[in-house]
Amino acid sequence: MHTRTRRTSLSLLSFALALSLAPLAHATDAQAPEGPRALPGSLPLLPAPAHLEKLAGAGYTVTAATPLHAQGDAAQRVAGLFATQLKNSGGPALTVSSARGKDGIRLVLDTTLKTGTEGYQLRSDARGVTVQAATEAGLFYGAATLSQLLTSGTSGQLPALKIDDAPRFSWRGLMLDSARHFQSLDEIKRVLDAMAEQKLNTFHWHLTDDQGWRMEIKRYPKLTEVGSCRLPAGDGGRDPATGTERPYCGFYTQDQIREVIAYAAARHIQVIPEIDVPGHATAAIAAYPELGTIDTPLKPISEWGVFPNLFNTEESTFQFLENVLEEVIELFPAKYVHVGGDEAVKDQWEASARVQARMKEVGAGNENEMQAHLIKRLEKYLEQHDRRLIGWDEILEGGLPPEATVMSWRGTEGGLKAASEGHDVIMSPVTDMYMDYLQTNSENEPPGRPLSTPLGRVYGFEPVPDALARDKQQHILGLQANMFTEHTRSYARLQHNLLPRLAAVAETGWSPRERRDFADFLARLPTQLQRWQAMGIAYAQTPFEVEADVTDDRKAGTATLALRTPLNYEIRYSVDGSPVTAQSPRYTAPLTQPLPVGVQAATFFDGKALAKAASRFDITASSLLTRNDEHLDLCPAEGKLLLRLEDDGPANGPRAVFNVNIFNPCWYWQNANVDGIGKVRVRAGNIPYYFQLAHDEPQRRFEKARSAHGEMDILSGQCDGKPLATVPLPAKPDADGFITLEAALPRSLNGTQNLCVRFTGDTRPTMWVLDELTLLPR
């Protein structure tokens, strides 16, 4: 389908389901956060140091001529990376010297210091700056803090100060899914650079899933020959010129993986591989069908959701997994290996006589115990090779060896249970730590998962549950942000989703609990935006844009705009077409203006604009009669799944985005003023239906079609209301992928009405989605 020209948003929508399709009590943050407010003595550092004290006396100014002293190989390595980071984030270009010096900048590695594994000391006075630590990692983090001090908008001027700093948690992580959408080596490295600058130290690499196997395994070449390619749904899987198939492919050779590991290690980031078992296995089974439970041939999947395909339980399959892990262990020096264990729907095992027989052979009383048997088998293998197993919290079901580590994603309950039982835990709950969920209601948000996880919610997450006994709290190793990539098909979207939220994750992982303050974080964040700009990082603009709620008085010919910004920064605006500057009027109350009106608005902090461009709202009497899908409600339904979906085409370039409840495809306009309205005009698109819903499939509800291709119904009320009009649907959309339909309303209709648009029939493998609804006067 061809893209529509307007931008899209999730205004007025709230989402209620996670990837697993299990209901979650998680809505968008309704209250605006407290605005930015710096704490006394705060400096624009992210994450905030554990202890920072400004001292009396003169400070020191760093210029390009300032000497940078580092002795020994380790200190020299840190100095080289520090000089690069400083220059890349907008600071001066320094030259590293191995000579001893008492002036300038000194990076000192002193193993007698009591700074801990990752801690450091930083001192600044009129003579210069000294960073010292007992380990190379600690020295690296101290240098990262110094780089931020020198790029804080003070032209290299440092106050006299001392910092004694060390992280709260040993695990400060990011999981990146390269299986659904593939990232280049250069993109991976830029992610690692952004992690290092924020003192994150664990890169969890999701390399296998139903949609692709991304890691070369020498012993099993078909894993990448077959398993690394899939055919995207619809237009995305066809060459626009020839119409031939255009598969989506990509994998990392073992040499490339070594390159990533070495690049990360230089920045003191461990790389944790994930090989998902027994579910999320479609790509592997497509490559080697004997690994599967059913006889039906499979291909890597170009759909999203939860799939039934599991590895079988044969000894030969267990041996295959151990052989894969052998090569994984040879490549990855990290102590941990992640084996997944999540979302393994057991239908195929339940239906397989051979699996049931194997369960009896190994003494498994049910399918969860069979999965536990596999996990214990792999845990034993990893332990024999001096590695530790990690799995998602489903591995608790059926029993778990004491040495296994649990990554709690379905909330914090699994982590609480695991830690209480003596297991080490990484907290990464879907409600707070999933970076592919939307972060604002802006019209410029890309496609994403059904919930909204704003910056304030990420920052407010506390990894150690209050209910956890004090003697078990040491089992919480830390926290991790998870970036699944079903909807993230470009590096630009990846950056948008990660930043600035990853900075909130970093501060929670590093700074003491009592040091964290969101208002102070917001006051420090604008300086970090400047560093990211210098680094070429395209962080999300949406948290810094202005949003508007518009109400109109049709008789008076006016519109009222209530402006807001997600992070409660200062708003300045103009209504006369002039550019918005720090001297423009400050927004304090809703603006009522005669139609037509064009309002521009932007957020500011300390006199500087935070978004690249001002937000613009152009409102006319005609535009008030049209609402797109982002500004309509989705009809409720029990077990609803509200999604923000991208179209399948064009093959290259931007695509349309639609909000839809795939369990009940209908949209409604609350309190539409239909006085004098004779018709409604609906523009609708047709996109692939690319979901597998496992046990949630029966919750899908479609009104039965009454003609060959179904109908568009206009209803009064919500989607179970009184029918007002019906128009037959065509067999297929027009050449641009859309259709435009008009339906006459009864002349007796007046006042305000809830108008619902519903598409009938089960039209899979495609589905109709609403683009725009327009009221047409008589």
Give the residue numbers marked as catalytic.
Answer: 209, 280, 343
Q: What is the DSSP letter of 776?
A: E
Specify whether the CB–CB gap between 675 and 686 falls below 8 A.
no
User: What is the rounded distance in angstroms from the CA atom of residue 312 to the CA atom of residue 614?
Assistant: 56
CA-closest candidate to residue 515, choices 48, 145, 43:
48
Bridge partners of 738, per DSSP, are 685
597: how many CB neighbours lie within 10 A of its CB?
Answer: 18
Contact 777, 673 (CB under 8 A): no
- How far is it, in rounded angstroms, from Cα 638 to Cα 647? 26
Which of 226, 225, 182, 341 shows the shortest CA–CA distance to 275?
341
Q: Among positive and negative, which fits the CA dihedral 716, 718, 722, 727?
A: positive
> How many C-alpha atoms does 737 have within 13 Å on its Cβ side?
23
**C-alpha distances out from residue 459 to 148, 432, 455, 481, 498, Å:** 20, 9, 6, 12, 13
What burial letters (b/e) apply to 60-98, b meaning 16+ CB within 10 Å?
bebeeebebbbbeebbbbbbebbbebbbbbbbbebebbe
Q: How far apart are CA 608 and CA 36, in angstroms?
A: 14
Beta bridge partners of 400: none
Strand, coil or helix: what is 227?
coil
Closest CA to 351 of 293, 282, 297: 293
CA atoms within 13 A on the CB side of 84: 12
Cα–Cα distance measured from residue 649 to residue 597, given in angstroms and rounded to the nearest whole number: 34
Q: What is the 3-state secondary structure (H, E, C) of 489-526?
A: CCHHHHHHHHCCHHHHHHHHHHCCHHHCCHHHHHHHHH
